[in-house]
Amino acid sequence: MRKIIFISKVTVVAVATVLFSSSLLANTELLKMQDDPNQWVMWGGNYAGTRYSELKQINAGNAADLQVAWTMSTGVLRGHEGGPLVIGDTMYIQTPFPNKVFAISLKDQGLKWRYEPKQDPSVIPVMCCDTVNRGLAYGDGKIFMLQADATLIALDAATGKLAWSVKNGDPKKGATGTSAPLVVKDKVIAGVSGGEYGVRGHLTAYDTKTGKQAWRGYSTGPDDEMLVDPEKTTHMLEPIGKDTGIKSWKGDEWKIGGGTTWGWYSYDPELNLVYYGSGNPGTWNPSQRPGDNKWSMAIWARDADTGMTKWLYQMTPHDEWDYDGVNEMILVDQEVKGKKRKTLVHFDRNGFGYTLDRVTGELLVAEKFDPAVNWATHVDMKTGRPQVVSKYSTDQNGADVDTQGVCPAALGSKDQQPASYSPRTGLFYVPTNHVCMNYEPYEVAYTAGQPYIGATLTMFPAPDSHGGLGNFIAWDAAKGKIVWSLPEPFSVWSGALATAGDVVFYGTLEGYLKAVDAKSGKELYKFKTPSGIIGNVNTYTYEGKQYLAVLSGIGGWAGIGMAAGLEGDSEGLGAVGAYRKLSDYTQLGGTLTVFALPDSVSGDKTASKD
């Protein structure tokens, strides 16, 4: 059995990859690196966020032969989101709070270095949705991470030494960090979490060299603080006009207006635009915040150098269900209605799959990607507004009324786990929820650093369906149609990967890593990792062999199996000592599992590439 790596002796080895240091090179290095399928250099595999790899040594014909090549325990309980980066001969992974970072040599799977920040644990209860972290970013010879306490840090990629750190928000007021930063040219871009604490969301760019703030654009408030131009910034191709971030709110609600930015950031180098989504507006009780609550629940296109907003699209004006708009933006050039377009594809929590022209923000397609979605009949293509069904409107039904049977639930038809796109099939592969809810809003007062929620929810599987809580679907974003749909017993909260081998990979809450045929959805392979998977599947090569890597670990008693058969929280388990006993014996917590074909199948070990 493999020893837990991090307790063995740490040898710091110089990174073999040449790490560029001049900012001129930094401007272009990631543009080149993202095209090299042997590495996995950012969360989406590339700036477009397609999570597609040209590697095809593992393909639909041989995926059934996959084996576990190596594993590593992170030793951290709680949910493991995000996925590993691979830069040259080094893999970098991160953990939930306390946000350890490991640099692993691909040569011998030994540790090159590890870093563990010192953070005030009082941040833990301020994190609404477990102490997750969605990953690292690489650029300019550094590894960037947004800590739970909203501190952005830069580590020397070769040594793990802290280069700089900067506060990106105040955890005392509920601001936390969970998202993966994105390096664009000489800047690193970071968002903020805390939508359940009335945090006013923003996207902020810092200089990769020094950590000095370059720009910050808020999601709500005055135009100059949002970095919008009333004349030039557009929504549905029209200028947005003055003070939209104030006038669409009652009183000062915009100051605690949410619109946090805890999802993923994509980038189009030709247009020089950064794309991302903003989250829910302030409290979950909609009657406390009349108005459209701009620009929560919106897709943003910002200039990477200045932060100035080119266009916006608000998916759920005046949210009544917590349908955060933060899910990933996938940038794909495709033909829509007979015309080749530079598009942005977004699977929103609200259950609609949106296709927009990413140059202008024109809305091209908005269709339900789960047939269970019932809160709106459709999206009006002239106004861009969803047509809300009164029965499911928690605002129209009012506070202290239980609005029943709303689909999707607050978790959305899809949460943050990123989808993937294969240019070979032209399809998007989307991990989804198939869950509905009852939702009862109530009056709530804002106190800094305290939850600002104001609704009670119950959730259940979508009725009159297959009884499961999820689906894994293939989606045609030009037509807005489901091509195939695999029923899953549980919600799929793992990020997908598509490859030139015409295989799509994703993880499940049971802990299965699954490989399915990209064309038909037919299951080719599944393997049960030690715990549920909410991480993203990534791929890379080392010495000509293709590998898949994924983090498992859902929190709670991740790693503790059925022999224990206990219920209760992990602290309770620790108290009875079973945790200690098990940890002497088995590897608890998050686990990195790396898959490859056995040598007898991968043959000459040449990872071929188109």
Partner 1 sequence: MRAFPDRHIGLACCYGVLALCAPSAAIANDFPTIDRVRFVQECMALRNSIKYETLYACSCTLDKIAAQINYDEFVEADSYMRMRNMRGERGGLFRDSDDHARTARKRFHDVKAQAEAGCFSLQSKSSVDAGTGSQDNAGKIQQ
Residues at the site binding partner 1, with contacts judged by CB under 8 A: 78-79, 127-131, 409-411, 415, 435, 457-461, 467, 469, 489-491, 493, 509-511, 528, 531-532, 554-558, 560-570, 572-573, 575-578, 580-582, 584-586
Give the Cα separation of 112 and 90 in Å (integer).
Answer: 8
Write down how long the chain is.
610
Give the Cα separation of 131 and 193 in Å (integer).
Answer: 11
The distance of closest approach from Cβ of residue 92 to partner 1 in the complex, given in angstroms and rounded to an integer, is: 24
Instruction: Between 564 and 601, name the residue whose CB sits nearer to partner 1.
Output: 564
Give the Cα separation of 331 and 316 in Å (integer).
Answer: 21
The distance of closest approach from Cβ of residue 168 to partner 1 in the complex, given in angstroms and rounded to an integer, is: 21
The distance of closest approach from Cβ of residue 474 to partner 1 in the complex, given in angstroms and rounded to an integer, is: 24
Instruction: Between 50 and 491, name the residue whose CB sits nearer to partner 1.
Output: 491
Query: How far is the first Cα of the chain from the last one, in angstroms, to the nearest whole number?
Result: 38
Order across the sheet with 538-542: list the strands.
67-73, 591-596, 545-552, 538-542
Give the Cα separation of 467 and 491 in Å (integer).
Answer: 11
In 88-212, DSSP assigns E strands to 90-94, 101-105, 111-115, 137-139, 142-146, 151-156, 162-167, 182-184, 187-190, 202-207
Q: Determine contact, residues 110/8, Cβ cutoff 8 Å.
A: yes
DSSP characters for 238-260?
A: EE--TTHHHHTSSTTGGGG----
Pairing of strands 339-347, 330-336: antiparallel
Instruction: Between 567 and 604, name the residue whose CB sits nearer to partner 1.
Output: 567
The distance of closest approach from Cβ of residue 586 to partner 1 in the complex, given in angstroms and rounded to an integer, is: 6
The distance of closest approach from Cβ of residue 509 to partner 1 in the complex, given in angstroms and rounded to an integer, is: 6
Contacts of 1 (CB under 8 A, 6+ apart): none
Which one of the listed residues 223, 319, 322, 517 is annotated catalytic? 322
Instruction: Between 62 and 131, name the residue whose CB sits nearer to partner 1.
Output: 131
Instruction: Between 372 and 410, name the residue whose CB sits nearer to partner 1.
Output: 410
The distance of closest approach from Cβ of residue 185 to partner 1 in the complex, given in angstroms and rounded to an integer, is: 35
The distance of closest approach from Cβ of residue 377 to partner 1 in the complex, given in angstroms and rounded to an integer, is: 26
The two structure tokens encoding residue 9: 């002796």
Local structure of 382: helix, strand or coil: coil
The two structure tokens encoding residue 292: 């459209």
Instruction: Between 484 and 490, name the residue whose CB sits nearer to partner 1.
Output: 490
Active-site residue, 322 included: yes
φ and ψ at 378, to 5 degrees?
A: -170, 175
Give the Cα separation of 324 and 280 in Å (integer).
Answer: 5
Instruction: Between 343 and 433, name the residue whose CB sits nearer to partner 1.
Output: 433
Q: Determine contact, residues 589/75, Cβ cutoff 8 Å.
A: yes
Neighbours of 137 (CB within 10 A): 28
Residues annotated as catalytic are: 322
